[in-house]
Amino acid sequence: MKDEMMQDKIERVRAAVAATPKQKGVRYPASLRREMVEAAHAMKAAGKSWSSIAKIFGVGADTPRRMCEALPRGAGFVPVRVVPRQPLIATKDFSLVSPKGYRVEGLDLDQVVHLLTQLA
């Protein structure tokens, strides 16, 4: 099913490119560029070369590669999930180990800071 959808997309791109006047520096509509980029990424992932992708679309040899660089995969809006803010540092159960191996456990952050300033 997915292959059929991709083949349909490729055919739509080919038809739209064929309907576009042939001239150097032609600007394709944004919707066509997006479809071309999606199809090109899929074909590239399947192992096709940029030149073979260009031949399939009926465009210049560098066109698919340049479009994919200009409009990378997944470009545009993406869903965002907002999560509650978590504290950056836990406030209990710090351990302090000295270079000579002395260990102090069960400190909170303020106690660690105080102990380090006293030792400095």
Report if residue 83 sits inside a domain.
Answer: no
**Residue 76 in domain:** no
78 belongs to a structural domain: no
Reading the chain (120 residues) residue by residue, the pLDDT tens digits are 577 888 888 888 888 888 887 777 778 888 888 888 888 988 888 899 999 999 998 888 888 888 888 876 655 666 788 888 776 665 567 887 877 777 888 888 888 888 888 877
10 domain residue, yes or no: yes
The pLDDT of residue 49? 92
Could you give the CA distance from residue 95 to residue 98 in angstroms, rounded to a whole number? Answer: 10
Report pLDDT for 113. Answer: 83
Full-model pTM:
0.54
DSSP state of 28: P
Calpha distance 65→41 (Å, rounded): 9
Are 37 and 66 members of one domain?
Answer: yes
Instruction: Establish if 119 belongs to a structural domain.
Output: yes
List the structure tokens of 86.
């978590």
Quick check: is 8 in a domain? yes
Same domain flag for 115 and 65:
no
Whether residue 42 sits in one domain with residue 14: yes
Per-residue confidence (pLDDT) for residue 87, from 0 to 100: 67
97 and 56, same structural domain?
Answer: no
> What is the predicted pLDDT for the residue at 91?
58
Determine contact, residues 17/28, Cβ cutoff 8 Å: yes
Indicate whether 57 and 101 sit together in one domain: no
Split into its structural domains, the chain has a count of 2
Residue 99 structural domain: 88-120
Residues 9 and 66 in one domain: yes
Stretch (H or E) spanning 16:
helix 2-19
Adjacent-strand bridge partners of 103:
97
In a domain, 20, yes or no: yes
